[in-house]
Amino acid sequence: DTAVSQTPKYLVTQMGNDKSIKCEQNLGHDTMYWYKQDSKKFLKIMFSYNNKELIINETVPNRFSPKSPDKAHLNLHINSLELGDSAVYFCASSSRQLRGNEQFFGPGTRLTVL
């Protein structure tokens, strides 16, 4: 199936731990994104990579570090997790040449920090 996939789907961890979320897309897109959706369902962009180059880096604590090993993958590593990091993290991808740069979203990773 062509899609944006994320692992894991659920992540429960203790404060202070370090964790990673992985994202892969097989849509042939050149741009990938990380979004955070908080408990009030508000969606905010965190990072974006175009052809492995970081192009959007919002005001996010530097405990969050994205990495894009290639155009099809975008990972998010979070150090020293805090309670406020609990949220759903969505990966998305798009192509500037297709469908008006429409973004396609992954299934989300629900992170709970205890």
- Strands 10-13 vs 4-7: parallel, antiparallel or unpaired: unpaired
Query: By CB under 8 A, what part of segment 5-44 binds other proteins?
Result: 31, 33, 41-44
Residue type, 17: N
Question: Which residue among 45, 67, 86, 112 contacts other proteins (CB under 8 A)?
Answer: 45
Q: Which residues pair with 70 in a beta bridge?
A: 73
Q: Which of residues 50-109 bind other proteins (CB under 8 A)?
A: 50, 55-56, 90, 92, 94, 96, 99-108
CA–CA dist 15, 54 (Å, integer): 28
Task: Give the residues lining the site for other proteins (CB under 8 A).
Answer: 31, 33, 41-45, 48, 50, 55-56, 90, 92, 94, 96, 99-108
